[in-house]
Structures are given as C-alpha cells and as structure tokens.
Chains A and B, each alone.
Chain A
Amino acid sequence: MERKKYLWEKMTAFPISCKIYYNCEMDGALIISDLRATVEDKLILNGVDMHVRAGEIHAVMGPNGSGKSTLAYALMGHPSYRISSQKSLIKIGKKNIVSLSSEERAKEGLFLAFQSPIAIPGVHVMNLLRVAYQEIHEQGSSLVTKSSGVHNPVFGKLSTNGEVDLLAFRKTVKEYAQMLRIDDAFLSRGIHDGFSGGEKKKMEMLQALVLAPKYAIFDEIDTGLDVDALRVVASGIDRLVKNGTGVIIITHYQRILKYLRPDRVHILVNGKIVKTGKASLAKEIESHGYKHYTT
C-alpha cells in the first residue's frame, strides 16, 4: 500500500503514462488506449490515450470540432460512433469493455452526463433512478462497496439481500437533490421534460451521485449554467470524487475548473491528445487559447 501511494504521488506530479510506473489494471483504472472512432465513416478520434484512476479528475479541453463529444459518446458506446481500430481499448481494470453495449458498460460502472440530454415524457426521475440503480447494482451493496471500490456510505446501508429499500432510496435521492438545490417536485416529473438548461445539468449530476459509477464522464456540464448552478454542480462532482468516482470533465472553458482542481488536463485537437498537463495548463489555455496547439 505504501509503495502504491508513493508511486501515485509521483505520478500525479509527472504526467506520464501510468504504464511505466504503475500497473493501472490492478487498480481498476479506466484505461483508454489508442481509441479511434468514426461517425458516419468519418474518422473523428484518431488514437486517444488516457488513464483515469479512482477519485481523479481529468479535464479534456479542446477547440470546437476537436472530437470532445465524440470521445464521450464513444466511451459510453453510442451505436453511431464506431470504434474503427482493432487496437483500440477501453478497459476498466482488466476488463475490456470496448465491445460491450452501453447497457453493459453502465453495469461495469461507466456513466455519461449528457451535454443536451433528451426528454422522456412520463418516465419519472425517481422511477428512472430506482430502475437504473437496481439494474446497475443488482447484487446489492457488496457490489457497490467492494468491487467498484466506490465508497458510498449512504448506499452501503441500502441493501441487505439485493433488494433496494425503497424508502431509504427515496430519502437518499432527496438528500442529493437538496444538495443540488433541485426542487422535490422535479423528482416526480418526466426526466428532462420541460426542464430548463440548468435543471437538466443538475439532473444529470443527480443521477451520477445516486448511481455512484466507477467512472463518470461529464460532457460540457458547465455550458449554459449560471454562476450559482455552476458552483452547485461543481460541488456535486467534488462529492462524487470524494466517494471514489473517477471523473472526466469535457469542457471548452476553464470556468468549472475554478471550483474543481483537475489532476490532469488534456488538450484534444483533431481527435488526438496533443498535450497533457497539470491544472495550470487549463489557465494557460484560458489566456492563450488553442492557437498554439492547432497550428
């Protein structure tokens, strides 16, 4: 353990692929290796490499059209985004999930907070959360606490023999909703049906907190949020990370990074990560733009 920790500190200090210093597979890290993806036969991702570990925050920044959203969708397994190389890998620990459906990926602990989530009228938020939670954590709390490594004290209590205690579940959802300043009334509305931009983002955040994934991808969670909502969403991500979830934040701006300290910042240009650095890299982008990396 001590050695791991030492190496880990070393790793965060130097943004070098963890393959060299540390065996990420053993630690259940999210490993993205040589990810190439096409949309309508057009190559968008051109070999992306990333290693995200539990409890880390990685920011992926890049100019318009650099492939940021494609990265999010390809990771989650959207059928329109085809992985175009045999060598491409997406692994959670030792398990390669690249050929799994999005449903199976979710069950392996992956989560995507959508940039503009679609409305599903009549599918109530609370109902959706309950069904999704049951599907993902079918075997109850042991799965949540042990195999995922995500520490979630509230959900640890939820399940005794695989069944989710509905009352306890509702209570937990409401606590998270309160934390995110989501009015209770939204929980019994159809998901995203008639929600404002800000409400949608908060609702995506709420799902991440409740479902307690191993790895969560936030696709432009910060766009269209006012300062107050931004702060609330950032505190949600902070909580998620403290619970042990590894987080990828895809963003145009440094805005949300004022409230969260990323362990790594990646610059994505033309479907490739052209530079990886520390939090300071985001500030550099803020003042100089992407010019340096695009030309």
Chain B
Amino acid sequence: MDTNTTLPNDSYKYGFHKPEHYVFKSKRGLDGGVVAQISGYKDEPEWMRKFRLKSLGIFQSKPLPSWGGNLHDIHFDDIYYYLRPTDRKVTSWDELPPDIKDTYDKIGIPEAEKKFLSGVSAQYESEVVYKSVQSMLTKKGVVFLDMDSGLREYPELVKQYFATVIPPLDNKFAALNSAAWSGGSFVYVPKGVKIDLPLQAYFRINAANMGQFERTLIIADEGSFVHYVEGCTAPIYSTDSLHSAVVEIIVKKGARVRYTTIQNWSTNVYNLVTKRARVEEEGIMEWVDGNLGSKLTMKYPSVYLVGRKARGEILSIAYAGPHQHQDAGGKAIHAASETTSQIISKSISRGGGRTSYRGLVQIQEGAKKAKSKVVCDALLLDESSRSDTYPTMQVDEQDAQLGHEATVSKIGDEQLFYLESRGIGKAKAESMIVNGFIEPIVKELPLEYAVEMNRLIQLQMEGSVG
C-alpha cells in the first residue's frame, strides 16, 4: 500500500507548505488503501471506515449504467479522489479561464462573491452574516454543519440515518460517493421547528463547499420546516472532471423540506448525482432542481412516499448548450395510501445540446388512492438540438389517478415575429421566450437566484457566453 501523503510540487508557489499545515493528497485512482487513508486522515469512527471499504467493493463490482449519457470517457484511475479544498481550487483570480471571468462580469456579481464562487477565496466576506445565522440556528436547536463535522459532533445521529435512504448498493455512483465522500452538509431540524430563512450552503464558510463527492444528510423531525439552497447560477469552475454527490433527506411526520439546487458547472464536468427523500405520514418534500452547466448531468431527484398522505414535488429545469447532455428527471415511489406526487420538468436545448427527461412513477400495491401528475415540456432552439423523453409508470393499484403530459416545441417564428413587431430584437426575443418557458419553475426560486437565472439565460441566448 502506498501511503502517498506527498506534498504536491505546485502548491509551493501558493505557500501551502508551512510545516504545521498538513497537506494531504491521495494518489490517482481509488483502492482500499486510498479509502482507508481518507478515513484515517479524517479520523473517522470504525463503522464509517468499514462502510467506505464495503462501498468501494460495490463500486468496483457494479457495471456502468447502460442508459443515460455517455460515461465511457471517464477515466476512474486517473482521478484524485481526495484533495484538501485548498489544493483543488485555483488560488488566484487570474488563473480562472477567461470565459468564466467574463461570465461573472456579465452577470455582475460582486467581487467578493466572485472570488468565493471561483473558489479563489476560502473566506467569504459574509462571515458576520454566517455567525448571526448560526447563532439563530443554535438557539432553535438546529444543527447545520459540514458532513465531516457532523460525523464528529453527532456520531450517533449520523450513524442512525446515514445511507438509510440511499444505500451504496443503489447504484455505481452512490457506491463511489459512499467510498470517497467528503464535504456536503449535515442538517438536523428538531420537532416543530420552522426555519424561515433558507439555509444556504455558502454560509458554511469553514468547510469545503464544492467537493467532488459531497454527501448531504438532512433530517427534518416531526412538524418541522426547512428550505435548503445549494449551488448558484454563476458557472462554477472546477478542475475536477467528475462530481458525484449523494443527498439523503428524511422528512418525518408532518414535516416539510424544500431543497433547491441551481448548478452551473463548467462544461468539462460529469455531474452524476443521487438525490432521494423518504417522506413519512403527511410530510412534504419539494425538490427544485436547475441544471445549466456540466458536460453530462445525470440526476433524478426522488421521493419515496412511505407514509399515508405524504406528498412529493419535483420541479426541474435543464439547459443544454453545445456539447452538453442533461439527462434529468425525477422519481416518485408511492408506497402508502393517499400519497400524491407531481413532477414538472422543463428542458431547453440549444446549439446541438441534448436534454433527456427520464422519469419513474411507481404506485406500489397497497398504495390506495394515490395521485401523480407528470408534465414534461421541452423547448428546442434550433434544428441541431435534441430532446428525448423516457417516462416509466408502474401501477399496481386500480384506483390510482395518473396524469402525464409531454410537449416538445420549437421557438416559433410567429412568436419571434410578434415580439419583433414590438421593437424587440431577435436575441432578446428568444431569451424572453425561453425565460417565459421556464417561468413556472423560476418563480419557485429565491428571488436573487431567479434574477440571476434569467440574466444567465439571456446571456446564453445572446451568444455571449460559452
């Protein structure tokens, strides 16, 4: 076993070689040694180390999915599976690729945020905000930590719920994450506590924010409410080409969780994410998911409705530009009576981009009077773009009510002419039509995200970006 705790040469120039500053970088590729090393470095409990190693075996034995996007260009042996955050990020503004900088300028985000988004700055200037948010949360008994700290400080709670919603056996990438995870959030909301302010991942300034294998676990106890917001609309430049996160959510009786993601990875990234919520009696889970960037995204937020009258909603937007494939959708598993679900998916393909809707609605035996509605609309902006729909429905109860609507449309010449006759130029008209198309979902986003989203779409339409 190669205990490769080397000091990468290139970090010298950034001054990371201070003797007291422990620098850790695993070797390329993933094997038992690397996994044990990651666990050891983090000083994890024995059960987690075993869990990681078991997951590694599952990852190695499972074949790549034969459906979805093209995964054959991922070279698993060529990847660093664990790096300290400072090693991963570019360390100065100047190192960012010009197109990313350009986009930041055009979106008009403030300098401090730019640095944060690009990973240049480890410290976010909203430290004051962060502290006041943390003290408010602490008073209410809410736990909001990065996953590593969560495991250290709440080992029993983590052990009780970790990997109960998404076991490593679920799929190859869930297994990979289980073996190599690092970063992500741990949230616990006590009984009856409702948090009005959305929890945003960037409040956790002390931790790795954009790991390759983030692991998030949210537990909403009975009657509680939390809105968790992850990501941002500005493109995130990552030097890592593979990102594979796992998000597990437990919605207890009468609780409600909304999880909003806007992701705009740079177009070298494979973004393969498993997100699932288990919803108990009368609980509500809402996924709001926006995917703009990456080379290939495969992501199907799921709701497992296990309690009577549990409800799940999945709203997703996917945008695929040149050389991008967004394979997204949702899954609703009805395992109890009177459960309801709704999946609304909107996708936009432009410049040869490809979007796919892939969805599953399953009404299991015993799930009486279940209701589900699926709406998937695709908008194609030109002849070279592509959109596909792969809906699956499995129904084992007679009295289920199911609805499925799917449309594929092109930006119509008549719509363009109408707006042009009102003095609006073609590029602006197209962006208005696209923004109009995704409006039902964008209006569910926190305001600042909605504004950025609209602006970003406009930039894309005007061909100024990417």
Q: Are A and B subunits of one complex? A: yes
Report A's interface with B, CB cutoff 8 A: 76-79, 101-103, 105-107, 111-112, 114, 117-118, 120-124, 127-128, 131-132, 135-136, 190, 207, 211
Partner of A131, one of B421, B428, B433: B428
Contact pick for B436, options A120, A207, A211, CB 8 Å: A120
CA of A136 to CA of B425, assembled, Å: 11
Q: Are A122 and B440 in contact (CB under 8 A)?
A: yes
- B424 at interface by CB-CB < 8 Å: yes
Q: Which one, A121, A122, A207, contacts B422 given CB within 8 A?
A: A207
A114 CA to B422 CA, complexed, in Å: 11
B436 touches A103 (CB 8 A): no
Name the residue in A103, A105, A127 with the highest tally of chain B Cβ atoms < 10 Å from its Cβ.
A103
Interface string of B402-431 (1 = CB under 8 A from A): 000000000011110111111111101000
Contacting pair A106 B436 (CB below 8 A): no
Chain B residue, CB-CB nearest to A133: B423
Question: Chain B: residues with CB nearer than 8 A to chain A?
Answer: 412-415, 417-426, 428, 432-433, 435-440
A106 touches B420 (CB 8 A): yes
Closest to A213 in B: B423
With A123-B433, A123-B436 as known contacts, state yes or no: A117 contacts B422, CB within 8 Å.
Answer: no
- Which single residue of chain A is at the shortest CB-CB distance from B418? A118
Our count of residue pairs bridging A and B at CB distance below 8 angstroms stands at 74
Among candidates A78, A120, A127, A132, residue contacting B415 with C-beta atoms closer than 8 Å: A120
Taking CB as reference atom, which chain B residue is nearest A78? Answer: B417
The 5 tightest CB contacts between A and B, nearest first, are A122-B436, A122-B439, A106-B423, A132-B422, A123-B436
Give the shortest distance, in Å, between B417 (CB) and chain A (any CB). Answer: 6
Per the bound structure, the CA–CA distance linking A105 and B423 in Å amounts to 7
A118 interface neighbour in B414, B439, B440, Cβ under 8 Å: B414
Q: Chain B's interface: helix, strand, loop or mixed, by majority?
A: helix
| Residue in A101, A102, A107 with the greatest tally of chain B CB atoms within 10 Å | A102
Chain A residues within an 8 Å CB radius of B421: 76-77, 102-103, 105-106, 111-112
Q: Please give, as numbers and ranges, the residues of chain B lying within 8 Å of A190 by CB-CB distance.
A: 436, 439
Whether A118 contacts B415 by the Cβ 8 Å rule is yes
Chain A residues contacting B423 (CB-CB under 8 Å) are: 103, 106-107, 132, 135-136, 211
In the complex, what distance in Å separates the CA atom of A26 from the CA atom of B381?
44
Q: Chain A contacts of B437 at CB under 8 A?
A: 121-122
Question: Is the pair A103, B426 in contact by a Cβ cutoff of 8 Å?
Answer: yes
| Bound CA–CA A101/B426 (angstroms) | 10
Can you pick out 16 interface pairs between chain A and chain B where the beta carbons lie within 8 Å of each other?
Answer: A76-B421, A102-B417, A102-B420, A103-B420, A103-B426, A118-B418, A120-B432, A121-B439, A122-B435, A122-B436, A122-B438, A122-B439, A123-B433, A136-B423, A190-B436, A207-B422
Chain A residues positioned under 8 Å from B433 (CB to CB): 120, 123
Q: A127 to B423, alpha carbons, bound, how many Å?
A: 14
Please give, as numbers and ranges, the residues of chain B lying within 8 Å of A121 by CB-CB distance: 436-437, 439
CB distance from B181 to the nearest CB of A (A): 38
How long is the Cα–Cα vector from A118 to B299 in the complex, in angstroms?
35
Closest B residue to A211 by CB, please name it.
B422
Interface centre among B417, B425, B433 (most CB of A within 10 A): B417
CA A249 to CA B436, docked complex, whole Å: 31
Question: Which residue of A is nearest B412, CB measured?
Answer: A118
